[in-house]
């Protein structure tokens, strides 16, 4: 049994894990696992917890970053101007709250009417387009908002997108943001053609569009007939078009969003015709209500209205939070709902042994896709819904991802239907399930459970841990099912010949995987600690603990014999200390650590190393805010961030007067210009390394 816990802290950790996993699946893997309304609800819950208790805020919180990591397989490029996400409003009251905050930021009296632009929120894939001297030179995905994947060859196949701007005297550079999509009628034709060829069908237009943009063959992209709507324009701040009086000449730089849309149309872009210049919130509400009723008549999906302050100077004055502009908001429509018949409940076991009930029901069509399953989270949610076998349930889904069960219709319940509950034994290994006091999760505590092993292996090789490329879920499943791997240490006992004999893994792939496993032995102690999958020890906590305890041996000693040393570490509480104590007290885990050392892993900090896992002057940057921009000569963005955070610094996505240092590399763009305009300290990579080493500025 565990001792008293902080329910808010536990819930915040759970929410961070859920939201970060969903962001990774959505932005990196292109395999969304959580629908938009569910993500929004969890996100807002985390925001509320952090607002009530700021000590819950951590550097890995999704509320304090722009987005998730970029995918692999294409060249990663730095956006000249970041692609920020938008805050959401789910009703008129929340829209009024946003507007009230905007007035306060602009120091306008309550009730002031500011012109705004309302645009349909298209459910597609954001693109960043870069033009130089009027010619398209680069197109990139949104990525993490700071960096994206360069997909210029694919984007050039979009017929509705100009390769050269329709301007006589174009600016030296133009940045355009917009949404790529596959229209619904085109999507139906593509699926009909795929069915005729015996190929698998796409689930929905948005996922098909995302997959198309990441095709390596532009000819395939051209056949998919993508479309594009532009909605944001960025021009050089000191540029002005020649004075002309001819209406057919180039338009001057816009002063507001409405003029920017007209500028984009003139330059040759498709701009969604369903937009409006609104004098006040009443006009915004009328526009949103109109299109909530009419959106099903459109040939593409839209799940709300984007509201933007019209005046560009006022936008600049309002500025940004760490992740979103203050001058814009997405007013989301209510989620679609549909009834279905519950078929069964399956209990699925995760890496930590947590058992998650999943509802399977008759397929229903929602928001352009067919869904047939939904996660029910835990036993409490199961009991709250009061599910019975054969129940008619109501399923909700506003986006294209996995839905949620909203409620049950008990009036339609079959006679004699029995309640649905979690099993008492693990469905994978048969061990008795346990639910500890103060926890929502029911768990299998058998460390030999195949489901726990599969999850542990997936976690060990993940990007944030050992980053072993080529070892996916299917291959891990084969290794476990065939008894070839019984622990993470066994991964390092594999050989290329054995791997090459597995299904869908040839000699070259096997050799590459062996190389990746060999290289993973050199990952720093903080990553190794995170990869062990100890409960409540995430990436940030692992780095913190690795700095305070330079080896597994020292951490084990502290956890078992001196727990006060654990809780004395800033940011590490009693719950984490107790989790570490339990983990290191387990014999099997001690054997695992010894085995990993035999396999060549250090499980310790290399004191002489100069790589990001080393400990550069802890606390040197305490209380200081850094902004990273551009491409550094030798450090990746992740490495630079790790070093700054390891020294106590904080990373921000936006430049402001509260920024202490801007670390600028090649192609630094607008952040560098803003920093220089504010008179902030701008340093390069060498300057950052000097600071880390304690050298003079």
- Please state, for a pLDDT cut of 90, what percent of the chain lies above it: 37
- Give yes or no: residues 165 and 80 share one domain: yes
The answer as to whether 603 is a domain residue is no
Weakest-pLDDT range from 38-42, 218-222, 264-268, 536-540: 38-42
Predicted local confidence at residue 243, as pLDDT: 58
Q: In this predicted model, what pLDDT tens digit does every residue of 14-44 receive, in sequence order?
A: 888 788 777 656 644 446 667 766 777 788 8
Residue 649 lies in a domain: yes
Q: What is the extent of the structural domain holding 188? A: 76-332
Q: How confident is the model at residue 212 (pLDDT cuts 50, 70, 90)?
A: confident
Task: Show which of 520, 538, 560 is a domain's final residue.
Answer: 520
Angle of CA points 494, 498, 504, to nearest 5°: 115
Give yes or no for residue 245 having a pLDDT over 80. Answer: no
Domain final position from 520, 546, 566: 520
User: Residue 616 domain-assigned?
Assistant: no
Say if residue 70's pLDDT is above 60.
no
**671: annotated active-site residue:** no
**Structure tokens that stand for 305 in this block:** 């209205």
pLDDT of residue 488: 93
Mean pLDDT calculated for residue range 636-661 = 79
- Of 209, 213, 220, the C-alpha closest to 122 is 209
Specify the CATH number for the domain of residue 499. 1.10.150.20
What is the pLDDT, as a whole number, of residue 23? 67
Asked whether the predicted pLDDT for residue 69 surpasses 50, the reply is no
Alpha carbon distances (Å) from 525 to 463, 521, 522, 548, 603: 15, 10, 9, 12, 5
Instruction: Give the CA distances from residue 658 to residues 62, 316, 630, in Å, rounded to whole numbers and listed in that order.
Output: 21, 16, 20
How far apart (Å, rounded) are the C-alpha atoms in residues 370 and 336? 13
pLDDT in tens, 311-347: 999 999 998 876 789 999 999 887 777 899 999 999 9
Q: Which tops the pLDDT comparison, 257 or 66?
A: 257
Is the pLDDT score of 301 beyond 60? yes
Least confident piece of the model among 251-260, 406-415, 688-697: 688-697
484 is a domain residue: yes
Q: Is residue 605 part of a domain?
A: no
Q: For the residues 541-550, what does the mean pLDDT come to?
A: 88
Average pLDDT, the chain: 84
Q: What's the CA gap between 251 and 262, in Å, rounded?
A: 9
Tell me the average pLDDT across 216-235.
89
More confident residue, 685 or 654: 685
Q: Which of 332, 349, 371 is the last residue of a domain?
A: 332
Looking at the structure, tell me whether residues 120 and 11 fall in a common domain: no
Do both 48 and 111 map to the same domain?
no
Whether residue 375 is contained in a domain is answered as yes
Residue 644 covered by a domain: yes
pLDDT confidence of residue 603: 93
Q: Is 203 contained in some domain?
A: yes
Please tell me the predicted confidence (pLDDT) of residue 399: 45
Are the beta carbons of 296 and 194 closer than 8 angstroms?
Answer: no
Beta bridge partners of residue 393, listed in sequence order? 340, 408
Percent of the chain with pLDDT over 70: 89
pLDDT confidence of residue 60: 63
Q: Are residues 566 and 474 in the same domain?
A: no
Residues 515 and 442 in one domain: no
Whether 416 and 493 share a structural domain: no
Q: List pLDDT tens digits, range 555-592.
A: 999 998 888 889 888 778 888 898 899 899 888 888 99
- Say how many domains are in the chain: 6
| Bigger pLDDT: 655 vs 4 | 655
Q: Which of 30-39, 211-220, 618-627 has the lowest mean pLDDT?
A: 30-39
Predicted pLDDT at 91: 85
Provide the pLDDT confidence category of residue 529 given band limits of 50, 70 and 90: very high
Length in residues, the chain: 697
Mean pLDDT across 630-649: 80
What mean pLDDT is predicted for residues 198-223? Answer: 80
* Average pLDDT, integer, range 275-299: 92
Same domain, 32 and 137: no
Q: Within this chain, do residues 516 and 553 fall inside the same structural domain, yes or no? A: no
Report whether pLDDT(608) > 50: no
When pLDDT is cut at 50, 70 and 90, the band that residue 457 belongs to is very high
Asked if pLDDT for residue 139 goes beyond 80, the answer is yes
Q: Are residues 554 and 654 in the same domain?
A: no
- Range picked from 61-65, 87-91, 465-469 for highest mean pLDDT: 465-469
Residues 363 and 262 in one domain: no
Q: Please indicate, yes or no, whether residues 475 and 587 belong to a single structural domain of this protein.
A: no
Residue 613 and residue 527 in contact, taking contact as beta carbons nearer than 8 Å: yes
Pick the most confident of 21-30, 76-85, 518-527, 537-546: 518-527
pLDDT at residue 398 above 60?
Answer: no
CATH classification at residue 16? 1.10.287.610
pLDDT at site 491: 95
The reported pTM is 0.52
* Domain match, 143 and 210 both: yes
Question: CB burial class (10 A; 0-12, 13-18, 19+) of residue 105?
Answer: middle
- The catalytic residue among 121, 308, 323, 674 is 121
Residues 341-391 have pLDDT tens digits of 999 999 999 888 889 899 999 998 776 667 888 888 888 888 889 999 999
The string of DSSP letters for 130-193 reads EEETTEEEEEEE-TTSSEEEB-HHHHTT-TTS-SB-S-SS--SEEEEEEEEE--HHHHHHHHHH
573-598 per-residue burial string, b: 16 or more CB within 10 A, e: under 16: bebbbbbbbebbeeeebeebbebbee
Question: Which CATH number characterizes residue 380's domain?
Answer: 2.40.50.140
Q: What angle do CA 473, 478, 484 make, to 5 degrees?
A: 120
Distance of alpha carbon 341 from alpha carbon 335, whole angstroms? 19
Helix (H, G, I), strand (E, B) or coil at 358: strand
* pLDDT tier, 73 (very low <50, low <70, confident <90, very high otherwise): low
């Amino acid at each position: 049994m565990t001792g008293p816990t902080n329910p808010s802290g536990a819930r915040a950790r759970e929410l961070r894990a859920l939201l970060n996993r969903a962001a990774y699946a959505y932005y990196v893997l292109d395999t969304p696992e959580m629908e938009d309304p569910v993500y929004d609800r969890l996100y807002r819950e985390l925001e509320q917890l952090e607002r009530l208790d700021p000590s819950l805020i951590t550097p890995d919180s999704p509320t304090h970053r722009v987005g998730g990591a970029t995918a692999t397989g294409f060249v990663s490029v730095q956006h000249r101007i970041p692609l920020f996400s938008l805050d959401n409003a789910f009703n008129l009251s929340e829209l009024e709250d946003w507007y009230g905050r905007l007035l306060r930021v602009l120091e306008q009296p309550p009730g002031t009417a500011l012109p705004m632009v309302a645009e349909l929120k298209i459910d597609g894939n954001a693109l960043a387009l870069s033009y130089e001297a009027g010619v398209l030179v680069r197109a990139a995905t949104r990525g993490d908002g700071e960096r994206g994947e360069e997909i210029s060859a694919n984007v050039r196949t979009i017929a509705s997108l100009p390769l050269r701007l329709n301007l006589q005297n174009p600016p030296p550079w133009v940045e355009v943001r917009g949404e790529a999509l596959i229209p619904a009628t085109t999507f139906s034709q593509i699926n009909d053609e795929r069915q005729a060829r015996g190929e698998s069908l796409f689930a929905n237009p948005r996922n098909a569009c995302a997959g198309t943009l990441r095709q390596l063959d532009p000819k395939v992209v051209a056949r998919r007939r993508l479309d594009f709507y532009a909605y944001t324009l960025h021009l050089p701040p000191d540029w002005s078009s020649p004075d002309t009086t001819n209406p057919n000449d180039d338009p001057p730089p816009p002063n507001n969003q409405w003029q920017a849309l007209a500028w984009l149309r003139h330059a040759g872009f498709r701009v969604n015709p369903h937009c409006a210049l609104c004098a006040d919130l009443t006009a915004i509400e009328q526009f949103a209500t109109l299109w909530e009723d009419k959106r099903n008549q459109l040939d593409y999906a839209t799940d709300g209205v984007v509201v933007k302050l019209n005046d560009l100077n006022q936008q600049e004055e309002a500025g940004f939070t760490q992740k979103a502009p203050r001058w814009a908001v997405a007013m989301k429509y209510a989620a679609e709902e549909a009834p279905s018949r519950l078929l069964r409940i399956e209990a699925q076991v995760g890496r930590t042994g947590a058992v998650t009930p999943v509802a399977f029901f008759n397929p229903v069509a929602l928001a352009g896709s067919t869904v047939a399953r939904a996660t029910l989270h835990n036993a409490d949610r199961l009991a709250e819904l009061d599910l019975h076998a054969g129940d008619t349930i109501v399923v909700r889904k506003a986006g294209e991802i996995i839905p949620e069960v909203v409620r049950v219709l008990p009036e339609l319940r079959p006679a004699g239907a029995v309640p649905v509950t979690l099993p008492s034994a693990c469905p994978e290994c048969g061990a008795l399930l346990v639910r500890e006091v103060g926890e929502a999760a029911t768990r299998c505590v058998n460390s030999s459970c195949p489901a726990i092993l599969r999850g542990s292996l997936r976690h060990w090789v993940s990007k944030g841990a050992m980053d072993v490329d080529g070892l996916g879920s299917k291959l891990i499943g084969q290794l476990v099912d065939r008894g070839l791997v019984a622990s993470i240490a066994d991964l390092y006992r594999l050989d290329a010949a054995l791997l090459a004999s597995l299904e869908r893994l040839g000699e070259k792939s096997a050799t590459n995987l062996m190389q990746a496993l060999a290289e993973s032995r050199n990952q720093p102690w903080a990553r190794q600690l995170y990869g062990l999958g100890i409960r409540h020890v995430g990436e940030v906590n692992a780095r913190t603990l690795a700095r305070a305890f330079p080896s597994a041996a020292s951490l084990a000693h502290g956890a078992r014999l001196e727990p006060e040393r654990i809780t004395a570490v800033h940011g590490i509480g009693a719950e984490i200390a107790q989790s570490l104590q339990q983990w290191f007290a387990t014999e099997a885990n001690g054997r695992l650590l010894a085995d990993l050392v035999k396999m060549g892993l250090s499980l310790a900090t290399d004191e002489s190393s100069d790589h990001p896992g080393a400990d550069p002057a802890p606390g040197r940057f305490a209380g200081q805010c850094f902004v990273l921009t551009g491409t550094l000569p030798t450090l990746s963005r992740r490495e630079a961030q790790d070093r700054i955070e390891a020294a106590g610094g904080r990373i921000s996505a936006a430049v402001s007067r509260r920024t202490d240092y801007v670390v600028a590399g090649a192609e630094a763009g607008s952040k560098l210009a803003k920093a220089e305009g504010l008179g902030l300290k701008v340093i390069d990579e060498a300057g950052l390394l000097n600071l880390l080493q304690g050298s003079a500025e």
